[in-house]
Every structure is written in structure tokens, then in C-alpha cells.
Chain A
Amino acid sequence: MKLTTSRTDKIIGVKRLVLIAVFISQALVIHYIESFMPILMPGAKLGLSNIITMMVLILLSPLDAFIVVVIRSILGSLLVGNVIGIMYSLTGGILSWCIMSILYTNFRKNLSFIGISVYGAIFFNLGQISVAALVYSSIGLAYTYLPMLMFSSVVTGTFIGFITYYLSIKVKAIKIRVNV
């Protein structure tokens, strides 16, 4: 199901560049819309941008997913208007990308998209809380926020995993073949 199958496509190539740019813009739009949704507790976002991260992992390569995550974190926070959010989104996104790419490349036989997505959401929140605890020099902050954040990340991770699963079925059915 990979979109870039030839070897030159993987390394260089306009097709890869355009695909990464399209995914980044989709992630930015999703991030912008998500900023309007009400939050139940501080830091517990719905994490819809992780759909894009997982789709890039599936359709392209983990390196491309890393590029999408980094650029989406920086530009997304600037777009919404919350510059301090770059710090939290970046660390959470990079940590969750690490875990998701390791799990996806090694454990795909027995671990479905839902499991990868839940792990990604857990580590995203862990990264955000670690940065917050460092900034405010208080480990008690981590102890108070983490239990509810774990619960919300499990719920949202399952939801995002379901979306990714059904989306991957539809994408596979389209049978995309693009010639450079």
C-alpha cells in the first residue's frame, strides 16, 4: 500500500515532497479545527492530528512522519496563536513518534492500529507533562495531572485508532497509483 514504491521515490523526488506537504497542510487544518473544541481538562486534547501521523507512518516512511510531526507542531501552534504550545506539542509529538514508529515497524503482526495509537497518545501526554514539570520545577504537578490524563489518552487513543483503521481500509480500496 506504500505510495512511494520505487527506490528513487523513497530518497528524493517531487512526489514524496508533495505528499509530505499535503499531509502537513491536512494536519494543520485538523489542528485548527480541533482548537475550537471544548476541553474537559487542561492538556486533554482530542489528538486528531495523530490520525495524520499514523497515516504518514502507514503510507510513507517513519522519517517522513517525523518531518510531518515537527513541522506540524511548529506551524500549528503559530497558526492557532499559542506560541508557548510549540514547546509542549513538539516534545509530546517527537516522543510519541518515537514509540509509534518503533511499534509499527517491529510489532505490526500482533499490535493493531488501536494499540499503537493508545501508546502514542500515552507518550504524547507523558512528554507534555514532563515539559510542564520541568518548566514549573514541580514534580507534584506530574503526580496530580497524570492519572486523569492517562484515562483521557486511553479513550482518545482508542477513538483515533478506530478512525485510522477504517481510513486505512478505504485508502487501500482506492488503489492509488501515481506516476511521476
Chain B
Amino acid sequence: MNKAFKLLDITAYLFAIIIVILTSIGMWSMARNTDGVSLVIESDNTENKTIDFENLETDEIIWLAVTDDNIFQLDYKPESDIYDNIIRIENKTIYMEYANCPDQLCTKTKPIINVGQTIVCLPNKLLIKMAGGEQLNEVDDISH
């Protein structure tokens, strides 16, 4: 080792690594924040539907059944045959429970946790996404 280094120098490098770890934790917790977040369903066949997450208990499960004309919000698991898509909201996570499309890509998609993520069922023309959350920035860019 070079003669310029001494014993406690390594604490400086460890301090920098600690700060990097802290900022990563901060970023992760900011993405997981669910204040003012809502689930938005956009469908070409029926109208759009929005469900807020604020008044949701953690152990409450909500089922959304999608047909050609309507979107039903239920408390129990509906029968699979008569509906096009069934969505389950549980523990602030959104699952696509069932779909009658031939490729089944939407049911294999990972469940939505963060704001901005989406699940799409193209044959049924259905899009569900997490929207809202706190505003990070009022302006996009500033230059002097």
C-alpha cells in the first residue's frame, strides 16, 4: 500500500458507501408510498373506472369483474365463465386474476405495486394502472 494511506482512511470510503445505501432506501420507500394513489381502469368497451386506495384496509380484498358492458366491484370471488377479466386488489397490490383471452399474457404479468406500472389485456382492450401519488416536482427543469 502507498505510504500516503493510514489506518483509518477506510472509514471515509465506508462512509460514502453508507450514504449510497441510505439514498437507495430513501428512493425505494418513496416509490412504495401509497398516499393518494388510485387504481384506474381504462377499457375501450365500457367506461373508465377509478378506485381510491386511501380508504382500503390492508386485509380487505376487492374483486373487479369486467364484461363487455360494465365493470362490477364485488366483495367475493365471482364465477370465471361469464366475465372477460377479473381483477383482484389485495394488500395494495393489483393482480389480474382471470382473463378469457387466448394468450393469457395479462394473467402472467407480475402484479402491480408501484405508481405508474400497468397490466394490459390487448384482446379484451383493457388497461389497468396505478395513478396518482404525491407530486415530486412542480417544474420539470430550471436553468439559470
**Residues of A participating in the B interface, judged by any CB pair closer than 8 Å:** 84, 107, 110-115, 118-119, 122, 126, 136-144, 146-147, 150-151, 153-154, 157, 161-162, 165-166
Contact = CB atoms under 8 A, between A and B. Distances in A.
Interface stretch (B3-11, B58-66, B84-92, B101-109): B3-11
Given A136-B142, A143-B26, A110 B16 contact: no
Contact of A150 (B9, B19, B139, B142): B19
Nearest to A157: B12
Given A143-B23, A147-B20, A154 B8 contact: no
A166 B17 CA distance: 27
A161 B13 CA distance: 13
A152 B26 CA distance: 20
B15 A122 contact: yes
A152 B124 CA distance: 50
B82 interface: no
A119 B15 contact: yes
Given A136-B137, A136-B142, A112 B19 contact: no
Contact of A112 (B9, B23, B27, B30): B9
Contacts of B6: 110-112, 115
25 contacts: A84-B144, A111-B9, A114-B4, A114-B5, A115-B8, A118-B9, A118-B12, A118-B13, A119-B15, A122-B15, A122-B19, A137-B138, A139-B26, A140-B27, A140-B136, A142-B23, A143-B23, A143-B27, A144-B27, A146-B23, A147-B20, A147-B23, A150-B17, A154-B16, A165-B4
Interface string B103-144: 000000000000000000000000000000000111100101
Contacts of B136: 138, 140
A107 B11 CA distance: 12
A161 B4 contact: yes
A119 B144 contact: no
Most buried by B among A150, A157, A165: A150
- Closest 6 pairs (CB-CB, A-B): A115-B9, A118-B12, A112-B6, A165-B4, A110-B8, A143-B27
Interface in B14-71: 15-17, 19-20, 23-24, 26-27, 30
Given A142-B23, A147-B24, 8 more contacts: A111-B11, A114-B9, A122-B15, A136-B139, A142-B26, A144-B27, A146-B20, A150-B20
B12 A115 contact: yes
Contacts of A137: 138
B142 A111 contact: no
Contact of B16 (A111, A118, A142): A118
Contacts of A165: 4
